[in-house]
Amino acid sequence: MLLFFEVDSIYQRLKGSNSNGLCNDSPTRKQSFSGPKRSIPALPWPIGIVILHDSWKKENKMSAELGTLVWVLALQLIMWVPYILNVVMVRGLVDAVGYPANPKPMADWAQRMKAAHSNAVENLVVFAALVFVANVAGISNDTTVLACTVYFWARVVHFVSYTLGVPWVRTLAFAVSWAAMVAILMQLL
Domain identity same for 127 and 176: yes
Asked whether residue 151 is assigned to any structural domain, the reply reads yes
Q: Which of 9-23, 63-77, 156-170, 174-188 has the lowest mean pLDDT?
A: 9-23
3-state secondary structure of 40: strand
- The last residue of one of the domains, among 59, 74, 95, is 59
pLDDT for the residue 96: 77
Whether 138 shows a pLDDT value over 60: the answer reads yes
Give the model confidence (pLDDT) of 57-69 as tens digits: 445 678 889 889 9
Instruction: Kindly report the pTM of this predicted structure.
Output: 0.65
pLDDT for the residue 33: 43
Domain identity same for 37 and 80: no
Domain identity same for 51 and 122: no
| Torsion angle defined by CA atoms of residues 113, 118, 119 and 120, in that order, rounded to the nearest 10 degrees | 90
175/161 Cα distance (integer angstroms):
13
106/150 Cα distance (integer angstroms):
31
CATH code, domain with 158: 1.20.120.550
Q: Which of 18-27, 41-50, 109-118 reaches the highest mean pLDDT?
A: 109-118
pLDDT for the residue 59: 57
Domain identity same for 148 and 92: yes
Between 179 and 102, whose confidence is greater?
Answer: 179
pLDDT for the residue 170: 92
- The last residue of one of the domains, among 59, 83, 98, is 59
pLDDT for the residue 97: 81
Asked whether residue 156 is assigned to any structural domain, the reply reads yes
| Boundaries of domain holding 109 | 64-188
For range 18-39, the mean pLDDT: 44
Q: How many domains does the structure of the chain reveal? A: 2
Residues 6+ apart with CB under 8 A from 130: 181, 184, 185, 188
109/158 Cα distance (integer angstroms):
14
Whether 132 shows a pLDDT value over 90: the answer reads yes
Whether 156 shows a pLDDT value over 50: the answer reads yes
Domain identity same for 176 and 162: yes
